[in-house]
Every structure is written in C-alpha cells, then in structure tokens.
Amino acid sequence: MMTLPLLAQNPAQTRRTTPPAPAARTNPATLLQAGPMVGASDMREVKLWVQTKSPARVQIRYTEAGNPGSSQLTDEVKTGKETAFTAHLLADRVEPGKKYTYELLIEGQKVSLPYPTTFQSQPLWQFRTDPPAFRFGVGSCTYVNEPDVDRPGRPYGANYEIFGAIAGQKPDFMLWTGDNTYLREVDWNSRTGVLRRYTHTRSVPELQPLLAGTHHYATWDDHDYGPNDADRSYWLKPVTLEAFKLFWANPNFVFNEGCTGTFMWNDCQFFLMDDRTFRAPNEMPDGPAKDYLGKQQFDWLIDALSSSQATFKFVVIGNQVVNPAKVAENYSNYGHERDRLFKAIAKAKVPGVLFLTGDRHHTILHKLDRPGTYPLYDLTISPLTSGPAKATDDELKLPTAQAGTYLSERNFGVLSVSGPLRDRSLTIQVFDTKGTEKWSRTLKASELK
C-alpha cells in the first residue's frame, strides 16, 4: 500500500555543500514518496525531481561515468507541505555529451535503490559531426486504480508492468502525451485533491525504475487538467497548472497560462502543446470563434515551426489532429482552426512536421495527403494503463487510416531517429505491455519536404 503525504512551509534552498553526518540513523528510504525522476536535459544542465513523505532535506550527488573523481552535488532543497513535498534539483555542472550516475541523498544520507539511477547531457554535435542517433518512448492515458474513490465495477487501470517494458527498451527519454494521471470527482474541486491524485499516480512502484533512469517530458490532456472533456472554463485550472509544474521537470513554459513548451533533442524539435487552457467548449458551433489552441498559442506554434531548423518537428498534443472523423474530441470538431493550421504550415513551407497524439485509448497512424506538398502524419499512441477502446468502423475505413497500424490494447511506442544529417530516418515501433513488438514503420526525412 503506497503512503501518501500530508499536504506549511515553503521549500528552502541552501548552498551546495558536502552533506553533514546524520544525527540519527533513520533509514532515508522511509522518507521517499516517489522518484527520483530525471527531467529535461541540455548541454549544460539536467533537471531532476523527487518527492518525500514529510519535510526533508534532499540533494543529488552525480558522477561522470568512468570518472569516479568527478562527483558534484546539486544545491540542497528542503521539501514542504505547501508544494506537496516535491523538490526540483539542478545538475548544473555537467559537460556536453556525457553520461552520469547519481545518488539521492535525504537528510544527508544516501538512499539505496534497487535499479539504475542515470542521466545524460546532450552532445555538442553541431558543425562537428552528424547528429547522433537517439530513441524515445511515447505513451498516454495512465490510470492508476484507487478502489475507494473509483467508479464501481471492473477496475479501469491495469498492466502497470508496461513501465518496466518501456524501461527495458532503454529510450533516451519518455514523452508523455496527456492523461498522465486521472483526476476523479473527489479531486478536481480542491487543491488538496489535485495534489493527492498527482502523488498517487506518481507513486506506482512499477514506475520508479523508468523515472530514475530515463529523461521525461510531458504535456497534458483533459484528465490531468481537470474533469473529463474540460475546456477553458474549468474553474481550477491555475491549480492543476501548479500541480503539473510541481510534478514534471519540463525545460520551459512559453506562456504564463498553460503548459506550452518546446525542447530540442539532437537535430529534432518537440513542441509541447496545450489543448485545454484556451479551448472553447466542444459543443460550441464551429467557426472562427471556436478556439482549440487559441490565437496566442496558434501564432506561437506557426512562428516556432517556421524558424525551426530541426529535421523532424514533432507537434505533441493531446487529441488527434489528422483524423478527419468528427468523433470523440478530435481536432476535426474544431474544423475552422484545424484548416487554418494546415494552411499556415503549407504557406510557411515548413518541412518535417509530424503530430504525436493520445487520448483515444487505441493506437493508429493517420496520413493526410496534401496537394503540392508532403503528407501530414499523426501517430496516436494510447493507452498505457487505462482501459482500451475501439475506433469506430467508419474511422478505420478512412483513407487517412494506415493499414496495419490499428491496435486496441494497452501499448507504448518507441521512436528512433538515425542516419546522417542529410538522410535522417524515423522508425516507429509499437509494443504491448510485455514489450513484444506489434508493428513498425519507417519514414524518411526526405519524404516530409
């Protein structure tokens, strides 16, 4: 049974220092709630995260692989109730292109963990070599059962061993594309409920090895934002944004509102889009006033895509974009804005755009042919641990639906980018909960120009 912390003191940060000898011999592992988790990576810094069960001093000691005399300490952080006992730690003495092992210290004592704790800094390859190959995991829809507050009947979540299967693929990072936790009726009207739900999901034992040895980036969808199908009218969205920022270690947030951000990994750029904060209600009649991304975020995306020199430009967003069926919460229900997006991408002559989506509780690849330019692909990967759902028969007959890519079971994706800079390839692999490959496809960058 996982223990959840009480949710006032603010975390206090002290100078980087050698941990003092502990005053008591308390096992530090008993203070650990969740993590450590490795977050955003760049050439000069790596973000890390941890959560304790009660107020505690936390710190990370990290060492370059193969260089035992290179140990460094992050600044120490004191966790507190006001921030759900979470801590963000920064490894800011890394060198480009290095791998590191690390140790978590709680109250100055090392926490012994039964799995690898590693991270990496990104390499400086520009103007020197071809970009290195890399692999990343993709998944959405993580439901963790809590019988006392779940709806009666068959449990909705299962197969938590999928996190071990993802870790077994050894991706460089994991991309969480929404519904990364499921707020319930008991949660979404209070800050206490929101923080408790985020804690409950993050504490799954099977998840911890993946958190500790793989970098993580995330955007959200309705269930980690608010109630089912929640839109811009959700009354507690500043609180869920606060929770999102407390529990994820993303590299940046473009706006004061919402979780929009971006990051590079080698020669590829990822655009983490927010499909909730600015979204008009689903039932609103379609037209110019029916926002999905909203004007500010829409304009930023087109500007960012236009200025990007990345080989592949992955637009990461909760709901399906390319699928033309007006079902569920697909972007097609916001057809006016969707058409504007496609036209803006074509007008700006932006190469290499692909969409990574979730939400639908099944996996499928859609491809939209466009006259005079390259096709737009939309890879939906869903669900991780939530209940699978089927696509409609009409959807599967659409010309955009790619044969052999539909999967209605719990699954995850691994995307690999490889090859010389002028001839990069993207290979998509989809695996079941045990890590068995179900299908694969390879796209060439030259096909997206």
Is the predicted pLDDT of residue 40 greater than 60, yes or no? yes
Is the predicted pLDDT of residue 340 greater than 90, yes or no? yes
200 and 99 inside one domain: no
384 and 430 inside one domain: yes
Amino acid at 202: R
What b/e readout covers 108-132, taking b as 16+ CB neighbours within 10 angstroms? Answer: bbebebeeebebbbbbeeeeeeebe
- 445: Cβ contacts below 8 Å, ≥ 6 apart: 311, 312, 351, 352, 423, 424, 425, 426
**Which of 69, 93, 120 corresponds to the end of one domain?**
120
Q: How many C-alpha atoms does 394 have within 13 Å on its Cβ side? A: 5
- 210: Cβ contacts below 8 Å, ≥ 6 apart: 163, 164, 166, 167, 174
What is the model's pLDDT at position 22? 46
Residue 214 within any structural domain of the chain: yes
330 and 418 inside one domain: yes
Q: Considering the chain, what percentage of its residues have pLDDT values greater than 90?
A: 94
What is the model's pLDDT at position 165? 98
115 and 91 inside one domain: yes
What is the model's pLDDT at position 251? 98
pLDDT 10s digits, 352-395: 999 999 999 999 999 999 999 999 999 999 999 999 999 999 99
Give strand pairing partners of 48: 38, 89
* CA separation, residue 27 to residues 31, 112, 209, 351, 422 (Å): 8, 10, 20, 54, 53
Residue 5 within any structural domain of the chain: no
Q: Considering the chain, what percentage of its residues have pLDDT values greater than 70?
A: 94
Residue 4 banded pLDDT, cuts 50, 70, 90? low
Give strand pairing partners of 378: 355, 366
Q: Residue 203 and residue 199: Cα distance in Å, rounded?
A: 6
Is the predicted pLDDT of residue 19 greater than 70, yes or no? no
Element (H, E) at 194: helix 191-202
Residue 2 banded pLDDT, cuts 50, 70, 90? very low
Is the predicted pLDDT of residue 9 greater than 60, yes or no? no
Residue 275 banded pLDDT, cuts 50, 70, 90? very high
What is the model's pLDDT at position 25? 63
Residue 15 banded pLDDT, cuts 50, 70, 90? very low
Residue 1 within any structural domain of the chain: no
**Which of 96, 120, 144 corresponds to the end of one domain?**
120
Domain of 256, in residue numbers: 134-448
220 and 95 inside one domain: no
211 and 356 inside one domain: yes
102 and 139 inside one domain: no
Residue 10 banded pLDDT, cuts 50, 70, 90? very low
Mean per-residue pLDDT of the chain = 95
84 and 215 inside one domain: no
Residue 126 within any structural domain of the chain: no
* CA separation, residue 372 to residues 307, 308, 347, 349, 444 (Å): 21, 21, 11, 11, 18
Residue 34: closest CA among 93, 90, 91, 113 = 113
280 and 425 inside one domain: yes
Residue 26 banded pLDDT, cuts 50, 70, 90? confident
What is the model's pLDDT at position 70? 95
Number of domains in the chain: 2
Would you say 413 and 381 are in contact if contact means Cβ atoms under 8 Å apart? yes
218 and 338 inside one domain: yes
- CATH number of the domain enclosing 292: 3.60.21.70
275 and 417 inside one domain: yes
38 and 146 inside one domain: no
**Which of 120, 154, 175 corresponds to the end of one domain?**
120
Residue 179 within any structural domain of the chain: yes
Residue 402 within any structural domain of the chain: yes
- CATH number of the domain enclosing 76: 2.60.40.380
pLDDT 10s digits, 49-86: 999 999 999 999 999 999 999 999 999 999 999 999 99
Residue 406 within any structural domain of the chain: yes
